[in-house]
Chain A
């Protein structure tokens, strides 16, 4: 239902630009060749499988509705096996052999997407990344063809700073893992912290760490009133358990959006009650106020994803699903002319996806903002909305 409404709205700019599309020589009916690279094996596989499912659902939905401007999607998928080298040779194959016109998702690891971005740029193939690092799309002058559907760490930290301000907390600790994901947050916090008058202490841990007591003891002795943990690895469970052990659960404990996983919450057991998570809205989609533009989109994704894959939709599935839907939206804006896809994307304003409300511009190729982040907790076996705005 919802899809039908949106398709109708999109017809208007679509029709206006149809002429230019026809001039560029695309033939209606000829399939649109789309390529994707994700890691469905290797350490990042737990993300990759959901992201692949998200894309698959998006492609099937688009094709069932007659494709984009009459062109159905022919989808080529390669497994990057969590290895940058494998992803790069797959990218080469997508560009030179499969002659794809558009790339969605880059290996579900920031490191892989970062390596793929210059290749897509050089080949002038639009690339919508569903990976996190801001450097994938910056500097924009060198990334004319690259966009991303994920939230920026800086926005998440700004949102957390808003929350801390509300709670009148000044002294915080950032406990980040030593991966690119964790250290990226450290770099951003060094900008956000001073701007928001936060007194930040930094601690690091290895994703393979089995013991964080030394770091946590230091944080406790340092007098931090809130602890922000930044990781996607199981070490985050160790953090939750050991923070409780040291009595830090009486402080404000916040996990980043990288840790929003029911599986991790179950593993943390009773200790999971003590933490908040800065997350996109998806996990609490049904608890959002009705005025939220995302609510309908999220509930629709929940229903269709559950029906198609027989498991609940995750954030990761939403990010790749949105990448595909953004491509569709942008293509309709430029009348189906793939060579103008970047222009189309830059025209997207306040587009309600499932992971957030996207606004791109020629200066900003990363579409989400801090408004897309909410604070949630884990109670009674599900995520619950704590702080909406």
Chain B
């Protein structure tokens, strides 16, 4: 096998993994925009998306219905989480919300373990043919689904934020809560909405990756950690930043483990992450806060 096609193989694998990281990072960014806080329950929603899809698939044996229903269920869980845990906070500040979200993550994980079980679960890929051979490399069709669905979701999100009234309201509330409130935006509703979008993105990531990697209740922390890193790398709060950060992390891992050593796969990715953050503390696309005194 030539080095050229090995590199191509890694490129596809890296983009596939990177897409998943991008979806999770997007969830972090949306919640960050509306609350200024990091929501560490994000990774748990990924697991929930995968595990509920598997449960539904076992009952209905239709992957499409199972995944769509699972993603919608997790979105409801996201909304419920915000209403039950974030909304009642008397004086929400970023640190408090971040801390509460860690509690929410632990609670969600235990709930998933008790209700959905401890065993890893999975279901078949979306397409019948599992692999394609193109130009000397083999690609799993599921990887193409992952890349395609992520891309579609990102495009929809872009138009949602740029064009729709609700999207604009969300952005307005993120830019300045008080000003948005004055012009009639219900700021608290926008927080709930951001949790819904974040949960949706997380669950989508879980539903499309599970055919490749299986899903088990204890993977949430890893997904959360990777997504968080991708969000930091791309620039916290930036939608294109999530995509760039996610892809960069995915590719770094793939190429790092191939050309340097698989022993240090995560170490390489995070060393580069640190270096980039030294040079650009707000990530690729993040803007440093300008504070007027």
User: Taking beta carbons and an 8 Å cutoff, which residues of A are in contact with B?
Assistant: 43, 45-46, 178, 203-206, 208-211, 213-215, 217-218, 220-221, 234-235, 237-238, 241-242, 245-247, 263-264, 267, 269
Name the contact of A213 in the complex, choosing from B214, B222, B254 (C-beta under 8 A).
B254
* Closest CB in chain A relative to B199 CB, distance in Å: 20
> Given the complex of chains A and B, what is the CA–CA distance between A235 and B214 in angstroms?
8
* Closest CB in chain A relative to B134 CB, distance in Å: 13
Q: What per-residue 1/0 map shows which CB atoms of B1-20 lie under 8 Å from chain A? A: 10000100110010011001
Contact A214 B1 (CB under 8 A): no
> Given the complex of chains A and B, what is the CA–CA distance between A150 and B82 in angstroms?
48
Contact B254 A211 (CB under 8 A): yes
Contact B124 A269 (CB under 8 A): yes
> Given the complex of chains A and B, what is the CA–CA distance between A247 and B9 in angstroms?
13
Chain A residue contacts of B13, Cβ below 8 A? 211, 213-214
Contact B17 A210 (CB under 8 A): yes
Closest chain A residue to B258, Cβ basis = A214
User: Which of B62-70, B172-180, B190-198, B262-270 lies at the interface with chain A?
Assistant: B262-270
User: Which of B115-123, B154-162, B236-244, B274-282 lies at the interface with chain A?
Assistant: B115-123
Contact B20 A210 (CB under 8 A): yes
Excluding A205-B265, A242-B140, A246-B138, 8 further A-B contacts by CB distance (< 8 Å) are A204-B265, A208-B222, A210-B213, A211-B254, A214-B254, A215-B258, A217-B6, A264-B120
> Given the complex of chains A and B, what is the CA–CA distance between A172 and B6 in angstroms?
20
Contact A206 B219 (CB under 8 A): no
> Given the complex of chains A and B, what is the CA–CA distance between A215 and B266 in angstroms?
13
Q: A-B pairs with CB below 8 Å: how many?
A: 83
> Given the complex of chains A and B, what is the CA–CA distance between A237 and B214 in angstroms?
8
Q: Is B166 an interface residue, CB under 8 A from the partner?
A: no
Cβ contacts A to B, 25 pairs, < 8 Å: A43-B218, A204-B262, A204-B265, A205-B262, A205-B265, A206-B265, A210-B17, A210-B213, A211-B13, A214-B10, A214-B255, A215-B257, A215-B258, A217-B9, A220-B1, A221-B1, A237-B214, A238-B212, A238-B213, A247-B138, A263-B119, A264-B120, A267-B121, A267-B122, A267-B214
Q: Is the interface of B mostly helix, strand, loop or mixed?
A: helix
Contact B120 A267 (CB under 8 A): yes
Contact B10 A245 (CB under 8 A): no
Chain B residue contacts of A206, Cβ below 8 A? 265-266
Closest chain A residue to B211, Cβ basis = A241
Tell me the chain B residues, 40-62 only, with Cβ under 8 Å from chain A.
none
* Closest CB in chain B relative to A36 CB, distance in Å: 20
> Given the complex of chains A and B, what is the CA–CA distance between A211 and B20 in angstroms?
12
* Closest CB in chain B relative to A208 CB, distance in Å: 4
Contact A215 B262 (CB under 8 A): yes
> Given the complex of chains A and B, what is the CA–CA distance between A206 and B223 in angstroms?
13
Task: Tell me whether A213 and B9 are in contact in the complex, defined as CB-CB below 8 angstroms, given that A206-B265, A245-B138, A267-B120 are known contacts.
Answer: yes
> Given the complex of chains A and B, what is the CA–CA distance between A79 and B9 in angstroms?
45
> Given the complex of chains A and B, what is the CA–CA distance between A218 and B219 in angstroms?
26
Name the contact of B257 in the complex, choosing from A214, A220, A245, A267 (C-beta under 8 A).
A214
Name the contact of A245 in the complex, choosing from B1, B140, B261 (C-beta under 8 A).
B140
The 5 A-B pairs of least Cβ separation, nearest first, read A210-B213, A214-B258, A234-B120, A208-B222, A213-B13
Closest chain B residue to A82, Cβ basis = B218
Chain A residue contacts of B10, Cβ below 8 A? 213-214, 217
Name the contact of B122 in the complex, choosing from A204, A215, A237, A246 (C-beta under 8 A).
A237
Closest chain B residue to A219, Cβ basis = B262
Q: What per-residue 1/0 map shows which CB atoms of B196-212 lie under 8 Å from chain A? A: 00000000000001001
Task: Tell me whether A211 and B17 are in contact in the complex, defined as CB-CB below 8 angstroms, given that A205-B262, A238-B213 are known contacts.
Answer: yes
Task: Tell me whether A234 and B262 are in contact in the complex, defined as CB-CB below 8 angstroms, given that A217-B6, A267-B122 are known contacts.
Answer: no
Q: Is B272 an interface residue, CB under 8 A from the partner?
A: no
* Closest CB in chain B relative to A247 CB, distance in Å: 7
Chain A residue contacts of B131, Cβ below 8 A? 245
Q: What per-residue 1/0 map shows which CB atoms of B89-129 lie under 8 Å from chain A? A: 00000000000000000000000000000111110100000
Closest chain A residue to B16, Cβ basis = A211
* Closest CB in chain B relative to A206 CB, distance in Å: 6
> Given the complex of chains A and B, what is the CA–CA distance between A234 and B50 in angstroms?
14
* Closest CB in chain A relative to B272 CB, distance in Å: 16
In this complex, the member of B119, B253, B257, B261 whose beta carbon has the largest number of chain A beta carbons within 10 angstroms is B257
> Given the complex of chains A and B, what is the CA–CA distance between A167 and B252 in angstroms?
38
Contact A203 B17 (CB under 8 A): no
Chain A residue contacts of B118, Cβ below 8 A? 45-46
Q: Is B144 an interface residue, CB under 8 A from the partner?
A: no
* Closest CB in chain A relative to B150 CB, distance in Å: 14
* Closest CB in chain B relative to A200 CB, distance in Å: 15
Name the contact of A218 in the complex, choosing from B130, B258, B263 (C-beta under 8 A).
B258
Chain B residue contacts of A203, Cβ below 8 A? 262
Closest chain B residue to A48, Cβ basis = B118
Closest chain B residue to A246, Cβ basis = B138
> Given the complex of chains A and B, what is the CA–CA distance between A299 and B114 in angstroms?
33
Contact B258 A217 (CB under 8 A): yes
Q: Is B216 an interface residue, CB under 8 A from the partner?
A: yes
Chain A residue contacts of B254, Cβ below 8 A? 211, 213-214
Chain B residue contacts of A241, Cβ below 8 A? 212
Chain A residue contacts of B17, Cβ below 8 A? 210-211
> Given the complex of chains A and B, what is the CA–CA distance between A343 and B13 in angstroms?
56
Name the contact of B219 in the complex, choosing from A205, A208, A247 (C-beta under 8 A).
A208
> Given the complex of chains A and B, what is the CA–CA distance between A175 and B10 in angstroms?
18
Closest chain A residue to B131, Cβ basis = A245
Name the contact of A210 in the complex, choosing from B119, B212, B257 (C-beta under 8 A).
B212
Q: What per-residue 1/0 map shows which CB atoms of B132-155 lie under 8 Å from chain A? A: 000000101000000000000000
> Given the complex of chains A and B, what is the CA–CA distance between A55 and B216 in angstroms?
27
> Given the complex of chains A and B, what is the CA–CA distance between A218 and B261 in angstroms?
10
Chain B residue contacts of A218, Cβ below 8 A? 258, 262
Contact B120 A214 (CB under 8 A): no
Chain A residue contacts of B119, Cβ below 8 A? 46, 263
Closest chain A residue to B217, Cβ basis = A43
